Amino acid sequence: MKIIATSDWHIGNLFHGIDRLPEHEHFMAWLKDVIREQEADVLLVAGDIFDNGNPSAAAQELYYSFLDDVTHDNPQLQIIITAGNHDSANRLEAPSALLHRHKIEVRGRVHRQWVQDKCEEDGCNAAGHWEFTTDDLMIPITSADGKEEAVVLAVPFLRSDVSLDGSYSKGVTALLHKLTDKARETYPNLPSIMMAHMYAAGAEIREGSSEKILIGGQEQVSFGKWDNHPDYLTCGHIHKRQHIWNTDWARYSGSVLPMSFAERDYRHGVDLITISQGVKPAVEFLEYTPQHPLMTIPADGEALELKEMKKAVSQLPDRTGDVFDEHSIYLELRLSSKKIKPDDRKEIEKLLETKDAVLCKLTQVMPDIDVTTNTTGVEFHSIDDILKRNPLDDVEECFVAKTGHSLSEEQRKTLEDYISTTLENDSNDEY
C-alpha cells in the first residue's frame, strides 16, 4: 500500500503582497501527476490547508477543485485531512458528509463526551467529567478489494483546552498515548500511521521562519518514553523537512512552498510511505521545485552599500518574458544605510525592470545604531532584529533601567506566563 504524506499548504498565502494561488495551482498539478504515476492508495494532509481561518472564495475553489479532480482521476484513492493551527476546524469539517462519499475524511477537532463518575456507596451523588474521545480519530484504510491494510490516527491541531493539570504539552502527550494504545487494542494486526499537527520538542526552526511558536516552548511535545508509539508518524506545523529527534519513525514532511526568506533553501515535496505486512514502513522523499525561487542579496545575511547593491542587481538574469514571469525570482535586498531614500529605491527598481526578479523586501540594515541605553549588551543590526526581540527582554531592560536591579525569578516567571498566555490567546481564533 502506497501513502503520500504532505502538510502545510497554506492556500491563500500572500507573499509580501503577492497572491500565491498560481503557485499553489502549480503544486497541485504536480501532486496530481505524482498520485497518478505512483498509483497511490492514500493521501494524508496534516494541517494548515489554508493560510488563515477565513480563506478567500478563490482559495476554497482551488482546494475543492483539487479534491474533485484527484478523486475522479483516481477512484481507488482515499484522502484524510486534518486541521492545523491556521485552519478553521468548523470550516474544514462543514462539508464532511459530502466529502465522505468521495472517500475523503476530514478531522478538524477532537470531540469530548461527558462521563459519569461511579459511586462507591449507595445513595451518593457522584459528579462527572469530560473526556476526549478517540474513536473517530482512528480511520482504517483499505486495499482495492476492501481489505483493511492499516489504520490512520488522524490528530488535528490541539487547542489549549486539551491541557492537563495546566500543562498543554502534558495534555497532548496523554491524548497521543491514549489514541495509540486504543488503536493497538482495536486493530491489533494492522500497522498504525499517525498524522498530527504540532510542535515536537527538538524540531529545528530557523530564525525568521514563519511558524508561530510560543515563548518558552510551551507548545513543545516530547516523544520521550513513548514505547508504544505508532509505526510511523507524519507531522505538520514545522516547515523544514526533518526527522523528529533521532527517530526513524517520525518526521516532518515540510511545507510545499517557502513561507519566508528564512526558508529559501528548504527542500519541498511529499513523502511516499510504503506499507507492507510485517515490514517497517519505507519512506521515499519525492521532491518538488516551487515555481519561484527565493533569493537574498547578499546571501550571507550581511548588507551592501547602495553602489555594491546596484552592481549585484545588475548581474541578475535578464527578463525574457512578461513583466512578471511564472518563474521569476522573489528577491530580498539587504541595504546598509541609516536611511533608505526614495531615490535609492527608485534606482534599484529601475535596474530590476529588465531583470527576471520581483523585489519583495528591502531591508534596511543600520551599521551604527546607538545602543548606549541598551543595558542587556545585545547589539542590533537592523529593524528586524529589534522587532524579533523577546518582549520579556524589553520589560526586563526597562525594569533594570528604572530600579537598578534585575527581575527576580518569581517576577520573571509571572511575566513569562502572562506574555505566553496573551500570545496564545491572540493566535487561537477558536476553541
Q: What residue segments make up the domains of the chain, in order of their start?
A: 2-112+129-288, 294-365, 383-427
The C-alpha atoms of residue 29 and residue 19 are separated, in whole angstroms, by 18
Residue 370: pLDDT over 60: no
**What residue spans of 230-341 are helical by DSSP H?**
306-314
Q: What is the pLDDT of residue 83?
A: 96
Residue 382: pLDDT over 70: no
- Of 44, 165, 158, 166, give the one whose Cα is nearest residue 106: 44
**2-11 mean pLDDT:** 97
What is the value of pTM for the model shown?
A: 0.81
Q: What is the pLDDT of residue 245?
A: 80
Q: What is the pLDDT of residue 218?
A: 66
Least confident of 53-62, 222-231, 258-267, 327-336: 222-231
Class of domain 2-112+129-288: alpha beta
Residue 325: pLDDT over 50: yes
Single-letter amino acid, residue 355: K
Residue 343: pLDDT over 90: no
Q: Over pLDDT 70: what percentage of the chain?
A: 84
Q: What is the pLDDT of residue 207?
A: 75
Structure confidence by residue, pLDDT tens digits, 384-417: 566 566 777 777 777 766 665 677 777 777 887 7
Distances (CA, A) of 396 to 69, 160, 369, 374: 55, 27, 21, 11
Q: What confidence category does residue 369 fall into, taking pLDDT thresholds of 50, 70 and 90?
A: very low
The enclosing H or E element of 272 equals strand 268-276
Backbone angles phi, psi at 402, to 5 degrees: -80, -40
Q: What is the pLDDT of residue 418?
A: 76
**CA triplet 71, 77, 79: central angle to 5 degrees?**
85
Residue 216: pLDDT over 60: no
The enclosing H or E element of 412 equals helix 409-427
233 contacts: CB under 8 Å, gap ≥ 6 = 193, 194, 195, 196, 244, 249, 250, 251
Least confident of 137-146, 181-190, 232-241, 359-368: 359-368
Q: Over pLDDT 90: what percentage of the chain?
A: 57
**Residue-averaged pLDDT of the chain:** 86
Residue 368: pLDDT over 70: no
- Of 323, 364, 319, give the one whose Cα is nearest residue 345: 364
Q: What is the pLDDT of residue 126?
A: 63
Distances (CA, A) of 50 to 25, 88, 90: 13, 9, 13
Buried b (16+ CB within 10 A) or exposed e, 149-174: bbbbbbbbbbbeebeeeeebbebbbe
Q: Is 350 helix (H, G, I), strand (E, B) or coil?
A: helix
Query: Comparing 327 with 210, which gets the higher pLDDT?
Result: 327
Q: What is the pLDDT of residue 49?
A: 97
Residue 2: pLDDT over 90: yes
**Cβ atoms of 364 and 340 closer than 8 Å:** yes
The C-alpha atoms of residue 51 and residue 56 are separated, in whole angstroms, by 10
**288-313 mean pLDDT:** 92
The reply to whether omega before 95 is within 30° of 0 (cis) is no
**264-285 mean pLDDT:** 93
Q: Which residues pair with 2 in a beta bridge?
A: 274
Single-letter amino acid, residue 55: P
Pairs from 401-409 (Cβ < 8 Å, separation ≥ 24): 401/373, 401/375
**CA triplet 422, 217, 15: central angle to 5 degrees?**
75
Structure confidence by residue, pLDDT tens digits, 40-73: 999 999 999 999 999 999 999 999 999 999 999 9
